[in-house]
Amino acid sequence: MDLPVTLDHGDLVDPPDAAPVVPTLEARRVGAWFGDHQILEDIDLAMAPNTVTAIIGPSGCGKSTFLRVLNRMHELVPGASLAGEVLLDGTDVYGRGIRPSSTRLHIGMVFQKPNPFPTMSIRENVLSGLKLAGIRRPDHDGLVEQCLTRAGLWNEVKDRLGRPGGALSGGQQQRLCIARSLAVEPRVLLMDEPCSALDPSSTRRIEETIRELGTEVTIVIVTHNMHQAARISDVTAFFLGDQDRPGTIVECGPTTELFSTPNDPRTEDYIQGRFG
């Protein structure tokens, strides 16, 4: 009953630095406020198709807020407001007549804290997005297997799909949440510190998952782990801001360049762990 969902956008694969690619998602002069407190100012960021973009920056600079502006979660907070445009395949998601729910369907989100639906089994959790968004699809079994495999969880849970989703370990729950987001076939996946509560081996598993998904979905990930950003992302954006100054992008570029030869001394200081 909502917008049709298409799988076949794989033909858009281009190297991220090839010039004329139309970005899948583009933020133009985005600003954000909570009440009268400005959190973000003039953010311009383009995410090319099938790339992984990492967002780094000190705590409180507005990284989560930026992600939430991208898929219209920001407006759920009472008193929140914003400025600028967010283009998904060239169309402003804040445009007239665009339903927030269809934007969120195309731009999925994985939260810092894993939160599977407690009343549902593992299988129902994976399929929950279809139910919630009112999408009809044949072959639920195949979809469940495909999503859990892509999230790197299939082998661990294939014998207990009927068990409650809450009965998994934290790392497994987070991968279940990733599988849940994949089932509705989003164009973009936003991840807000998805590994911050996880042990090294779950983290490695999820990083593998992100790298594999990065060839099919456009991913934006917020992380406090510099090594993680360097390992998994194609492009890195460094945000800076604090209580008194709204967050802005200090530097943005291909991850290898940003980490090896940063242009801005503040970027270098942050990467070296000298502040923030």
Partner 1 sequence: MTTAAPVRRRPGGMTHEDVIAGVGAAGLAVVVTAVAFLLTPLAGSFGFVLTAYVLFLALLTIDSRRRLGGVIATDRVASVLVGTCGAVALAALGLILWYVIDRGVPGLHRGFFTKTLDSVGPLDPATDGGAGHAIVGTLEQVGLAALISTPLGILTAVYLSELRGRIAPIIRFFVDSMSGIPSIVAGLFIYTLWVVQLHKGFSGLAAAMALAVLMLPTVARAAEEMLALVPGGLRESALALGSPHWRSVTRIVLPTARSGLATAAILGVARVAGETAPLLMTAFGNDSLNADPTKGAQSSLSLFAYQRIRNALPSEIERGWAAALVLILVVLALFTLARLVAATRKAR
Q: Which residues of the shown chain bind ligand ATP in the complex (CB under 6 A)?
A: 34, 39, 59-65, 77, 243
What φ, ψ does residue 108 adopt, rounded to 5°?
Answer: -75, 170
Contacting partner 1 within 124-153 (CB under 8 A): 128-129, 131-134
Contact 81, 262 (CB under 8 A): no
Min dist CB 217 to ligand ATP, Å, is 22
Task: Name the residue whose CB lies closest to Mg ion.
Answer: 64
Distance separating alpha carbons of residues 26 and 89, to the nearest angstrom: 8
116-175: which residues touch Mg ion (CB under 5 A)?
A: none
Considering only residues 35 to 94 of the shown chain, the ones binding Mg ion according to CB under 5 A are 64
The reply on whether position 117 binds partner 1 by CB under 8 A is yes
CB-neighbour burial class of residue 272 (10 A; exposed 0-12, middle 13-18, buried 19+): exposed
Query: Residue 19, interface with partner 1 (CB under 8 A)?
Result: no
DSSP 168: S
Residue range at the interface with partner 1 (CB under 8 A); choices 20-28, 51-59, 68-76, 233-241:
68-76
Question: In DSSP terms, which residues pair with 225 in a beta bridge?
Answer: none
- What's the closest the beta carbon of residue 134 comes to partner 1, in angstroms? 7
Residue 53 binds which one of Mg ion, partner 1, ligand ATP, none, with CB within 5 to 8 A depending on kind? Answer: none
Question: Which H/E stretch holds residue 202?
Answer: helix 200-213
Q: How far apart are CA 267 and CA 252, in angstroms?
A: 10
Half-sphere CA count of 234, side-chain side, radius 13 A: 21
Nearest residue (CB) to Mg ion, 168 versus 178: 178
- For the bound state, the minimum distance from the C-beta of residue 205 to partner 1, rounded and expressed in Å, comes to 21
Nearest to 137 by CA among 177, 179, 183: 183
H/E element holding 271?
A: helix 265-271
Cα Rg of the chain, angstroms: 18
Among 2, 141, 208, 242, binds partner 1 (CB under 8 A): 2
- Considering beta carbons, is residue 31 or 62 the nearer one to ligand ATP? 62
Does the protein bind partner 1 through residue 184 (CB under 8 A)? yes
Minimum CB–partner distance for residue 40 and Mg ion (Å): 13
* Distance in Å, CB of 19 to ligand ATP, minimum: 30
Cβ-in-10-Å burial (0-12, 13-18, 19+) of 26 comes to buried
How far apart CA 75 and CA 142 sit, in angstroms, is: 35
Could you tell me how many residues make up the chain? 276
Which of 48, 176, 177, 217: binder of partner 1 (CB under 8 A)? 177
Nearer to partner 1 by C-beta: 125 or 255? Answer: 125
- Using rule CB under 5 A, residue 223 touches Mg ion: no
Bridge partners of 83, per DSSP, are 31
Which residues of the shown chain bind partner 1 in the complex (CB under 8 A)? Answer: 2, 71, 73, 76, 78, 101-102, 104-106, 108-109, 111, 113, 115, 117-119, 128-129, 131-134, 177, 180-181, 184
Which residues of the shown chain bind Mg ion in the complex (CB under 5 A)? Answer: 64
